[in-house]
Amino acid sequence: MNIATRQNGTSTVVDVKGDIDLYNSPEVRKVILEELKEKKTARVIVNLSGVRYIDSSGVASLVEGLKVSRTLASRFMLYGLSPAAREVLELSRLIRVFEVYASEEEALKAQ
Amino acid sequence: MNIATRQNGTSTVVDVKGDIDLYNSPEVRKVILEELKEKKTARVIVNLSGVRYIDSSGVASLVEGLKVSRTLASRFMLYGLSPAAREVLELSRLIRVFEVYASEEEALKAQ
Amino acid sequence: MEHAVKLNFPSDPRYLGVVRGAIERFASLAGFDEEDCRWITLAVHEALTNVIRHAYQNRHDQPVEMRLSERDGGIEVLMVDHGKGVKPEQMSGRDLEDVRPGGLGLHMIREIMDKAVYSPLEGRNELLLFKVKGSKPSVGE
Amino acid sequence: MEHAVKLNFPSDPRYLGVVRGAIERFASLAGFDEEDCRWITLAVHEALTNVIRHAYQNRHDQPVEMRLSERDGGIEVLMVDHGKGVKPEQMSGRDLEDVRPGGLGLHMIREIMDKAVYSPLEGRNELLLFKVKGSKPSVGE
Ligand SMILES: Nc1ncnc2c1ncn2[C@@H]1O[C@H](COP(=O)(O)OP(=O)(O)O)[C@@H](O)[C@H]1O
Ligand SMILES: Nc1ncnc2c1ncn2[C@@H]1O[C@H](COP(=O)(O)OP(=O)(O)O)[C@@H](O)[C@H]1O
């Protein structure tokens, strides 16, 4: 798994590549929480287009990002879900809780 | 692994999908030899574009097809090699022995 | 041979990917379609992360055994650990209406598999997972 | 733990894909790039088909054991069978200039791996394969 952040306007995009599982989800969590809590980024967009596999600990990291973003009144968005990633969020009844977009552009434009 | 044959003009195209290994190479061999020996097809074109992995027993089946085609003065061609399939043929010094084409069209047109 | 493929490995999350690689191919061999193979891999993976986190409390050097077999028109996975067992009734998922991290694994396992039987035995805990071909998880209710 | 992942399975070509799934992920874990993972998977697969065809003479119900470990900046694979052993010097590839089916496996294994040591022991044959990171097979001469 590889994770990197980049600026796009006032938003930060978190690019994740590879499988997100118990082995590396702590790193995903750390990067997301740092963006939200320390850098106080108003809009964090997680790019999952390079992620084929995500387990429940990966989902938990995303849920934590979402919860923290709510307390800080910032935005937390996902895009580029593979069928497998979407299925996992559906199975955990979380797909409707997240703001999910088809592309980075849509996530950036969203009000 | 899945294997099927179809006519394209006077040639027969053998479409292979999945991994070719010791488990299923006997089937690949059987289909190819049947085309050449029994159906007396003048041009047999093996479509490997759906093959990700091929082992030495798979290579052996192709070599057998090639040898039989030579005795019968028919043509035996390959196309759609993945990087992995190409590497295996290179490693066994066989890439220059086969007639390898980039596409079905090129194989059909070849004199 | 009753158990077709046996895997032994340490309780280290490093090896999760290796185990998934084997499970996914075994499910495909057993005749499941690509989507089902993904589901089965997820369920077995979740059960394994539970062994690492709960039975072995995140110690990474403990032995895990997994036996994969084709049985009764489906796939059977037996997972064995020698860690801390709990009473089967303490193995419970949580209410999913509450949005919070964690507590999703058992829920996923039960949705995906047709059978999940946990047996805490003397110094050895077994989890038996089974899924028959053709049964689908009830995604999104 | 010295040997990280151990696999036991019958000498049936059915399971070749499952073993490849595990090897490919293990090689990736050990730090090899995608191309190297493919090569290593091919070499181990070829060694395993030799065990099935030669040591076990195509019997499909005999036990095979494989131990995967990360060692000395590379990957080590130990393959164990209880079939017919041969003298190490009888294990020889053939001249590749002769175009004919068969006789490619040992050649591939030796090109890909840095070390391939065969030890026919009392009722048990071992093949030890090792590849260090960064070494490339000499493709096409
Ligand atoms: N293999 C296991 N050994 C011991 N306890 C377990 C095991 N699997 C699950 N449990 C118990 O069941 C609870 C629910 O598990 P799960 O739904 O996977 O969510 P989580 O692991 O995130 O808490 C765990 O918190 C744990 O107490
Ligand atoms: N594991 C093994 N046990 C016994 N003999 C073997 C083994 N591997 C290879 N050999 C011997 O070495 C020869 C060359 O093997 P290889 O290059 O893989 O080609 P092939 O298997 O197609 O003959 C085999 O024909 C066999 O006699």
Alpha helix locations (H) across chain A? 25-33, 56-71, 83-91, 104-109
The residues pairing with A76 across neighbouring beta strands, listed in sequence order, are A44
Chain B residues whose C-beta sits inside 8 Å of any chain D C-beta: 19, 21-23, 53, 55-57, 59-61, 63-64, 66-67, 83-84, 87-88, 90-95, 97
ipTM score: 0.91
The residue ranges of every structural domain in chain B are 2-106
pTM metric for this prediction: 0.92
CB contact under 8 A, C25 and D21: yes
Range B2-106 has CATH code 3.40.1010.10:
no
Q: Label residue D140 by pLDDT band (50, 70, 90).
A: very low
b/e D58-80 (16+ beta carbons within 10 angstroms → b): eeeebebbbbbbbeeebbbbbbb
Does the pLDDT at position A89 exceed 90?
yes
Per-residue pLDDT at C140: 44
Which protein residue has the closest C-alpha to ligand 1 atom 11? C91
Q: CA distances (Å), C119 to each of C51, C82, C86, C88, in order? A: 13, 12, 9, 7
pLDDT in tens, B1-44: 999 999 999 999 999 999 999 999 999 999 999 999 999 999 99
Cα of D103 to ligand 2 centre, how many Å? Answer: 7
C52-75 pLDDT tens trace: 999 999 999 999 999 999 999 999
Give residue-wise pLDDT tens across range D21-67: 999 999 999 999 999 999 999 999 999 999 999 999 999 999 999 99
Q: What is the C-alpha separation between C96 and D11, in angstroms, rounded? A: 45
> B51-91, pLDDT tens digit by residue?
999 999 999 999 999 999 999 999 999 999 999 899 999 99
Which residue type, as a one-letter code, is found at position D9?
F
| Euclidean distance between CA atoms A12 and A7, whole angstroms | 5
| Average pLDDT of the residues of chain D | 91
Q: List the subunits that have 3+ CB pairs under 8 angstroms with C.
A: A, D
CA–CA distance, D86 with D92 (Å, rounded to integer) = 11
From chain B, the residues in CB contact with D42 under 8 A are 53, 55, 88
- C-beta atoms of B87 and D139 within 8 A: yes
Whole-angstrom Cα distance, residue C54 to residue C57? 5
SS3 A53: coil
Residue A49, token pair as written in the block? 């287009």
Provide the pLDDT for residue D141.
42
Task: List the strands of the sheet with A2-8, edge to edge.
Answer: A2-8, A11-17, A43-50, A75-79, A99-101
Tokens for D36?
């190297």
Contacts of A20 (CB under 8 A, 6+ apart): A1, A28, A51, A53, A54, A55, A57, A58, A61
- Mean pLDDT, contiguous 10-residue spans, chain C (141 residues): 84 97 96 94 97 97 98 96 92 75 87 95 95 76 42
pLDDT at C141: 42
Cβ count near C122 (within 10 Å): 6
As a whole number of angstroms, the distance between CA D38 and CA C21 comes to 14
Among D50, D62, D92, D129, name the best residue to mutate to test ligand 2's pocket (greatest count of ligand atoms within 8 A of Cβ): D50
Helix (H, G, I), strand (E, B) or coil at C132: strand
- Mean pLDDT across A101-107: 97
- C47 alpha carbon – ligand 1 mean position (Å): 9
Closest to A32 measured CA to CA, from A21, A46, A18, A52: A46
Work out the mean pLDDT of chain B and round it to a whole number: 95
